[in-house]
């Protein structure tokens, strides 16, 4: 039984079908790369897995139990086993420490001191030690992205959903984040990494799913899916099963 | 013109000498309206949050209705609360008519549409990504509402100040529910109306100047909040 299973998932907005019959599974300790062009439905799929939206059809199954379409109380319980980093993270109007401890606080985990200690460790992991008292909304896009990642990893989630987590980062910061994610491999966390960056996907992901126009067109070991197709980074690369280059 | 000038001089004298009756009326006005605004805020801000964050049939019509009630005539509210609290009314046994408590209830009803409506407007100004982030991090509904209200705190505080100002300056509820009883339910507005009808223009103007002064302080506070 897979830790996360996505079965026959469909999502439509009006007549527009964004996701079509998605079937995926992820194990704990595994990093699944989700790669595809802009508008292919990667972010929507992550939002559905995070239970921020309901699928039009199909199911999200966590350790054998359907969590989509369930009452809000059960959805909250399931969501508290996950954490998501959005493509364009937003910060609460407060300092960095409050932002990083937010998830721990709403989940009722530990005392204030314990939460702060965990938050400091998470900030250190993303290279932002000493930022605790800074106003989170005055930081650069890249710094906010790292705060968002710290806000997620501090929760020690069983499932980590990452939507382009290094898109706004300079190469050095991106590399630090990659190392952090590599550290999660083989542990108790399952990671789904949505990205445009094939190099990153190849470097981090155990398996890759290619999403084109809402459909999974290829799924398998990273090397098998990406290895033969990759040429000079993302430029000119063609998705298996699609004519779309990106 | 001389009457007005004398009135202003008398007003200044009453204020500078801290005339006991004027001070008492002022303190009572502030206490009743502050209590009404605080209690209304405790109910209306979360209610505004629920209305804004939940999707339900008739939501738009409800918000339109709330906004229509911003300009609710104070005498209409006074009449409604009077009927509810009068001896033959459903809450007559509580004996709240002609009491400060009755005035607080009336003012709460009067300012509730403003507080709920402005809270809804304030929360609409918060990015939907904040809501998604809070939910994604594991917040339940009440935690999400608290988070979003906190994000919109300056606009929400401004709504409470506007509500307080409206409660302080209204006369219909205070007169009809309070009855303008000396040393008990007499407040600035009812006292101004009484003193004017009795021809005591100096006292009336003193009270008017105090009322305007409080309004100015409120507006300054409001500007400061809105500027942040």
Q: What is the ipTM of this complex?
A: 0.90
Write b or e for each residue in B76-95: b if 16 or more Cβ atoms lie within 10 A of its Cβ, otherwise e. Answer: ebbebbbebbeeebeeeeee
At A236 the pLDDT is 44
The answer to whether A99 and A136 have CB atoms below 8 angstroms apart is yes
At A230 the pLDDT is 56
Chain B residues with a Cβ under 8 Å from any Cβ in chain A: 127, 129-130, 132-141, 143, 147, 150-151, 153
From the CB of residue B227, how many other CB atoms can be counted at a distance below 10 Å?
7
Residue B68's domain is classified under what CATH number? 1.10.3720.10
At A229 the pLDDT is 56
Instruction: Report the C-alpha gap between A196 and A53 in whole angstroms.
Output: 23
Total residue length of chain B? 228
Look at residue A58 and give its three-state secondary structure: strand
Residue of chain A with shortest Cα separation from B141: A72
Q: What is the pLDDT of residues B17-67, one digit of tens each?
A: 999 999 999 999 999 999 999 999 999 999 999 999 999 999 999 999 999
Those residues with Cβ within 8 angstroms of residue A228's Cβ, 6 or more apart along the chain or in another chain: none
pLDDT tens for each residue of chain A, 246 residues long: 899 999 999 999 999 999 999 999 999 999 999 998 888 999 999 999 999 999 999 999 999 999 999 999 999 999 999 999 999 999 999 999 999 999 999 999 999 999 999 999 999 999 999 999 999 999 998 899 999 999 999 999 999 999 998 887 888 888 888 888 888 777 889 999 998 888 888 889 999 999 999 999 999 998 888 875 554 344 344 555 444 454
Which ranges of chain A would DSSP assign to H, the alpha helix? 42-49, 72-79, 96-106, 112-125, 141-153, 171-184, 198-204, 222-226
Instruction: Report how far apart, in Å, the C-alpha atoms of B162 and of each of A175, B47, B68, B122 are.
Output: 51, 17, 16, 13
Structural domain harbouring B18: 2-225
Residues of chain B with pLDDT under 50: none
At B2 the pLDDT is 76
Instruction: Report the C-alpha gap between B11 and B17 in whole angstroms.
Output: 10
Asked if B129 lies within 8 A of A90 by C-beta distance, the reply is yes
Of A50, A92, A155, the CB nearest to B147: A92
The total of structural domains in chain B comes to: 1
Those residues with Cβ within 8 angstroms of residue B31's Cβ, 6 or more apart along the chain or in another chain: B100
Those residues with Cβ within 8 angstroms of residue A63's Cβ, 6 or more apart along the chain or in another chain: A1, A3
Asked if A79 lies within 8 A of B143 by C-beta distance, the reply is no
Of B133, B135, B143, the CB nearest to A90: B133
Alpha-carbon distance B217 to nearest alpha carbon in chain A (angstroms): 27
Task: Provide the β-strand partners of residue A139.
Answer: none
The answer to whether A22 and A216 have CB atoms below 8 angstroms apart is yes
Q: Does A165 touch chain B (CB under 8 A)?
A: no
């Amino acid at each position: 039984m897979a830790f996360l299973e996505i079965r026959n998932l469909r999502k439509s907005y009006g007549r527009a079908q964004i996701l079509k019959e998605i079937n995926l599974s992820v194990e704990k300790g595994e990093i699944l790369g989700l790669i595809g062009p802009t508008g292919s439905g990667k972010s929507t799929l992550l939002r559905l897995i995070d239970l921020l939206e309901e699928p039009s059809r199909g199911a999200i199954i966590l350790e054998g139990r359907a969590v989509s379409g369930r009452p809000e109380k059960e959805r909250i319980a399931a969501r508290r086993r996950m954490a998501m980093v959005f493509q364009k993270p937003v910060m609460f109007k407060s300092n960095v420490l409050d932002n990083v401890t937010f998830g721990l606080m709403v989940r009722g985990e530990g005392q204030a001191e314990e939460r702060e200690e965990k938050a400091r460790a998470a900030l250190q992991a993303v290279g932002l030690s000493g930022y605790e008292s800074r106003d989170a909304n005055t930081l650069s896009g890249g710094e906010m992205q790292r705060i968002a990642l710290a806000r997620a990893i501090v929760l020690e989630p069983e499932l980590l959903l990452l939507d382009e987590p290094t898109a706004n980062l300079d190469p050095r910061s991106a590399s630090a984040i990659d190392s952090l994610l590599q550290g999660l491999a083989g542990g108790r966390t399952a990671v789904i990494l949505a990205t445009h960056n094939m190099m990153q996907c190849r470097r981090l992901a155990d398996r890759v799913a290619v999403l084109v126009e809402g459909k999974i067109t290829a799924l398998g070991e990273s090397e098998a899916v990406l290895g033969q197709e990759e040429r000079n980074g993302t430029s000119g690369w063609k998705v298996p099963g699609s004519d779309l280059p990106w | 013109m001389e009457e007005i000038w004398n009135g202003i001089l008398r007003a200044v004298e009453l204020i500078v000498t801290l005339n006991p009756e004027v001070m008492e009326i002022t303190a009572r006005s502030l206490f009743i309206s502050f209590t009404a605004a605080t209690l209304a805020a405790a109910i209306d801000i979360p209610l505004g949050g629920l209305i804004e964050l939940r999707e339900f049939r008739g939501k738009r019509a409800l918000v339109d209705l709330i906004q229509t009630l911003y300009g609710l005539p104070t005498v209409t509210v006074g009449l409604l609360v009077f009927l509810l609290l009068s001896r033959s009314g459903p809450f007559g046994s509580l004996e709240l008519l002609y009491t400060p408590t009755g005035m607080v209830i009336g003012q709460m009803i009067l300012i509730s549409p403003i507080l709920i409506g402005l809270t809804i407007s304030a929360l609409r100004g918060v990015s939907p990504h904040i809501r998604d982030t809070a939910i994604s991090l594991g917040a339940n509904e009440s935690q999400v509402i608290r988070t979003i209200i906190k994000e919109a705190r300056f606009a929400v505080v401004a709504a409470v100040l506007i509500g307080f100002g409206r409660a302080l300056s209204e006369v219909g509820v205070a007169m009809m529910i309070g009855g303008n009883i000396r040393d008990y339910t007499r407040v600035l507005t009812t006292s101004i109306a009484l003193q004017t009808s009795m021809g005591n223009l100096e006292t009336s103007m003193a009270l008017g100047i105090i009322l305007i002064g409080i309004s100015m302080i409120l507006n300054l506070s409001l500007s400061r909040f809105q500027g942040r």
